[in-house]
Structure 1
Amino acid sequence: MTAMIPPLQTALLSCQGLGFRVRDTQLLYDINLTVNPRETLGIVGPNGSGKSTLLKLLAGLRAPSSGRVQLLEQPLARQPRRQIAQTLALVEQQADTNDAISVFDAVALGRTPWLSALTPFSAEDTGIVDQALADVDALHLRQRTWSSLSGGERQRVHIARALAQRPQLLLLDEPTNHLDIQHQLSILQRVQALPVTTLIALHDLNQALTCDRLAILDRGRLVALGKPLDVLTPERLLSTFGVHAHYLTDPYDGARILRFRAP
């Protein structure tokens, strides 16, 4: 009897030989990466290592100087922006507006890829927007104006707008930067509990330990890819991040955490 061969998973997002140059400066070199369905893949690296640039290339906001990006195994460059926006959403570090707009209307912009003359904004869309706000603990901000929000509140609303797109793939560029510690932990837990695949650039390496896999960038090169404890080794932390580090075990839940020392 012939054994059944399980079907291969379709990669949601991948890149091959990806490079990016600005004038005479090479920012990324030969990146090969595959994002698997339903995983949380973290991107870490020192400042200037290329994390934000990589996310913009993978989202199609910039065109690579070399290599290619594929979304659902089709060339990203050949796909209409509307189709891309129905599949992936990007939350950048800095995104602002001077428009006098309510929080609800700001998040409702996430529904734009799904609307048309034949499918206008409906009660279903209102429910999706409210759910997105609830997912980031911001439903109480629904009627506030954008200009009245704090930096942390704006960041949560940015994430809600991305969630309102109902993407299969969520790209986040250091989403906890402007948040207090309570909302940092809350946002990461909520994002990882969502039924979406997540690609997230993180600054905090202890937060990165909660990801399924980590990609480590160093001066524009992908230097390690794998499970967090396998790639965030003391040797790698010294060579890439310039710090001495060792692991401790949290007696509360047995989790491994990193302790850093200056070299």
Structure 2
Amino acid sequence: MNERGVRSMNGIRLDWKRDGYFFERDALKSAPGPWQQWAYILDQAVQGNFQDTTGLLEVYFSTENRLLRDACCRLLGDAGSTEAIQKWVAHLRTRFANFDPVGGDTALDLSNSLAVHGQLLFVPEVLRLLEWNMGVPDSRIFPLHLSLMLEERWGPIAEYPSTDEAFPAYKAQVMGRVLELSQGLGSEQAHVFMGRVSHVPDIARLLLENLGSSHFEEASQWLLRRRFEASTGINCSSFFKDGRFQPLTAAAVLEEFLSSDEAARFVPGRKYFFGRWVP
């Protein structure tokens, strides 16, 4: 690929400290076929058709392009239907059963997708990915994915089990928290986020509570922006300027949303993409 083509591919990177899902689309006009497939799936999801998100698995494994693979997994987490998620989990379980290791960026991609999707019943798959990747570079990210689902702030689940011997106790702790949440919610099917049932207005309130400059707040701001923008379809590009968070701008958008009739129509425990329920 020539230099111009590389710049075009770089322009499609989903970046929640910049344009997020409102990225410049011109780069897609001359993009290769797999990018066109991804763009079609995204456009269908924006319109409320989530059936084609099952095709993200094929797009992911059809390419070695890291930006496209990242885009597939981010879209899967944000807009993937239950059927699409189950398809990816079936792939993982087959790999596990055949002792076919899932490692490196692929393991982190799938872990991130399952964590963002947020259903408690898929936590064991994230734990298995961690177990298979103990000690490898970036393996400390897996506990952060689990913490994003299960804890209101970084807590013991975010702590990396530093040895193989420590993993069983860590797994028991994680599954204990899953049991606690599932009993409280009455189901493992509900979507959770930051230690509570996922609810779009609550995501807006969480961001309003984390507008500051502490390490946790700065790490959370782009994650919360991603969840809010993906769920509502509200353009949040103005939340960041040159990669720096703009708290007053973000607060104005969030408060306007919370005071609107739109906020009241989101049902707790459901997954939404661009304001539409993802079945």
Query: What is the TM-score of this pair, normalised by structure 1?
Result: 0.34
Q: Which has the larger radius of gyration?
A: 1
- Return the structure number with greater strand share: 1
- Return the structure number with greater helix share: 2
- Structure with more relative contact order (C-alpha pairs < 8 Å, separation 6 or more): 1
Query: What is the TM-score of this pair, normalised by structure 2?
Result: 0.33
